[in-house]
Amino acid sequence: MNEIYWILPVLFIFHDFEEIIFMERWVKRLDREKLYERLPVNLVKKILRHFDNISTTKFAMSVYILYIMLIVCTFISYLWNLKLFWTSIFLFFTIHLFIHCLQSIFWGGYIPAVFTSIICIPICLWILKFVFTKFHFSLFSISFMTLIVAIVALFVLCGLHKIMEA
């Protein structure tokens, strides 16, 4: 199990490189009319205001901060053998990959990170199957810990998005 901890930072950076490389160009080419057709006007205006302020540098800095946090969490999990904590982070990451795929389906085309999501999902599912087979976490414990991870992650992501807008 000890070696498997380190697959998370590897998959994360592989996935996020696609976002870093393609985000700014994708935003510039974004079909804004398509957004207005699919979403409420107020939400579109908020999204576009946010997208217009994102540069590759700001986005990459946010990814860097997340990556450092992920390395720290992975290292702590590795040091103290915190399987449940690590698995919850990994599960949240896997759900995040599925969300990118759903966004792409909703959008009806490419969004940055969908290709690496498609590549990473089978790997993540295999790892989760291995972990859940080897360590019999209760449904309550994995759900509760993943909820805590999600709340903290969403709080951090909101903060990083605010920083990107500055």
Does residue 54 sit in helix, strand or coil? Answer: coil
Binning pLDDT at 50, 70 and 90, where does residue 1 land?
low
With a cut of 80, say whether residue 166 has pLDDT above it.
no
Question: What is residue 60's predicted lDDT score, i.e. its pLDDT?
Answer: 94
Rounded to an integer, what distance in angstroms lies between the CA atom of residue 127 and that of residue 157?
25
Q: What is the pTM of this model?
A: 0.93
With a cut of 70, say whether residue 157 has pLDDT above it.
yes
Identify the CA nearest to 48 among candidates 65, 33, 34, 32: 32
**Residue 98 DSSP symbol:** H
Rounded to an integer, what distance in angstroms lies between the CA atom of residue 101 and that of residue 120?
11
Residue-wise pLDDT for 4-53, tens only, equals: 999 999 999 999 999 999 998 998 888 888 888 888 989 888 888 888 88
Q: What's the mean pLDDT in 144-156? A: 97
Q: What's the mean pLDDT in 146-163? A: 94
Q: What's the mean pLDDT in 76-83? A: 95
Listed in order, strand segments (DSSP E) in 29-157 are none
- CA dist 98 → 85, 93, 114, 121 (Å): 20, 9, 9, 7
Question: What is residue 163's predicted lDDT score, i.e. its pLDDT?
Answer: 83
Identify the CA nearest to 74 among candidates 5, 139, 134: 5
| Range of lowest pLDDT (42-51, 123-132, 136-145) | 42-51
Give the burial class of 28: count Cβ atoms within 10 A of its Cβ; 0-12 exposed, 13-18 middle, 19 or more buried.
Answer: exposed
